[in-house]
Amino acid sequence: MHVPHPESPRTANCQLLYFTTSSLTADGRLLAVITNVWSSHPEGASLGRIDRATGGMEPLAVFPGPAMQSYPYFARPRSADPAEDHLYNGTVATHGLNKSSPCLDPKSGNLFFVWGREDGRGVLECVNLRDGRRRTLLEIPPERCVGYTHLDAAGEHVLLTLMDSRMLAFGERRAHNREMSENHAKHGLVTQIAEVEIATGRLSVLWEEPAWVTHVQYHPHRRDVVLFNHEWTWPLGTERIWLKRDVEPRVQVRRPDRAIRFRVSPDLGADDVAHEVWQEDGKGVIYHGVRWDAPGGPEQFVGRAPVDANQPLQEISIPRDRPSFYGHFIPSRAGDFVITDAVADEKGLARRKGNLISRLNMDWDHGRMEVVPLCASNTSWHTQDNHPHPVPSPDEKEVFFTSDGDGVRRVYSVPATF
């Protein structure tokens, strides 16, 4: 395996942006990071850029305190029960950076993000990685909060979810997914799926979804097709992934009556699917899941859903001799390989956590995959900030990821092949 190269200094905590966006400019020179280096609080969250040639780091947007409460950073105290440790995501405040929101346009270097003011209003801003110029696009009312954001292919619109802020209070107390689904229905909550025109800051609500939506992604080549999720819903195997074309009805991507090739699941409700992302050619959606009722114990799989809703799903199990756990799966542009942080060696198996950054070479025609470990991540997985969230570089020659394996949260890179 390779030895990963540290991209951020050991003197400050740094992490990548969320894995549905690149953190690297198209020329490979500048890296956008979330860091505490300029904050007065140890869990502070500001935005910075790293010059990869020199290693120098400069501020882009500085906030003194911890991040504002947003999905999945809830104002939830740490539990004394280790089994609930995954529900804790650190200290949060009523204002500051929304750590889930940043998304980067690799070509222009424009970085879009949301932050919260002390009066409760949110602000969507843009800062350029190359020249540092910053401007405001939109103010968001206190009764709405934002999840992840996404850019269209032209870099002219930002897609975002305007969620009912009451969901944050439910998230603080959440014990299981069924409870969250019941809250959606009981309170009649909706999420506004909206886009902002970057040139003018004009907001357009595309539709209202009767669910809690946190992840939204434009089709790689079209603005009229949106991939989105229903968050913390029940049952997990069928209610998570949705697709909508402009004025057409929404489509349930993984549903009981849709055929599946390669893998048999007698009860989709016993599955757990997540982290849906576009294949960059726009022909399919890549996701992953766990079949909890598989013989011999839980079985992880990688799935591909053709955009044509009448075509069968393709789901390939990770080989049993390759232990794997919760993780993230991001495909290449062509979908011929997938990068993941879920695979474990003996050290990871003992901790029951993925500790390798791996490349899955997918053979969709024959229903199999080759697992190629690239390097160790050895991250703690403690809080969302220390999830590796690996992503290929725009040229797909490198993989970037986050790890606190040496005691400091840092960004690393590793070659994408051997």
Residue 84's pLDDT is what? Answer: 76
Check if the beta carbon of residue 51 is closer than 8 Å to that of residue 72: no
Distance in angstroms (rounded) separating the CA atoms of residues 366 and 352: 30
Alpha helices (H) along 262-342 = none
Residue labelled with tokens 């232990």: 323
Residues of the chain with pLDDT under 50: none
Instruction: Compute the radius of gyration of the chain from its Cα atoms.
Output: 20
Whether residue 72 has a cis bond before it, omega within 30° of 0: yes
Q: Is the dihedral of CA 173, 176, 181, 185 positive or negative?
A: negative
Of 363, 356, 304, 299, which is closest to residue 337 (Cα–Cα)?
363
**Is-contact 75 92, C-beta < 8 A?**
yes
Q: What are phi and psi of 332, to 5 degrees?
A: -70, 170
User: Which phi and psi (to 5°) does residue 166 adopt?
Assistant: -65, -25
- 3-state secondary structure at position 18: coil
Buried b (16+ CB within 10 A) or exposed e, 391-404: bbbbeeebbbbbbb
Full-model pTM: 0.95
Peptide bond into 235 cis (omega under 30): yes
- The residues, any chain, with a CB within 8 Å of residue 110's CB and separated by 6 or more, are 104, 126, 127, 128, 129, 155, 198
Q: Which residues pair with 303 in a beta bridge?
A: 287, 315
* pLDDT 10s digits, 346-388: 999 999 999 999 999 999 999 999 999 999 999 999 999 999 9
- pLDDT value, residue 151: 98
Gap between the Cα atoms of 380 and 254, Å rounded = 32
Instruction: Name the nearest CA neighbour of 287 among 272, 279, 275.
Output: 275
Q: Considering only CA atoms, which of 382, 406, 303 is closest in space to residue 4?
A: 406
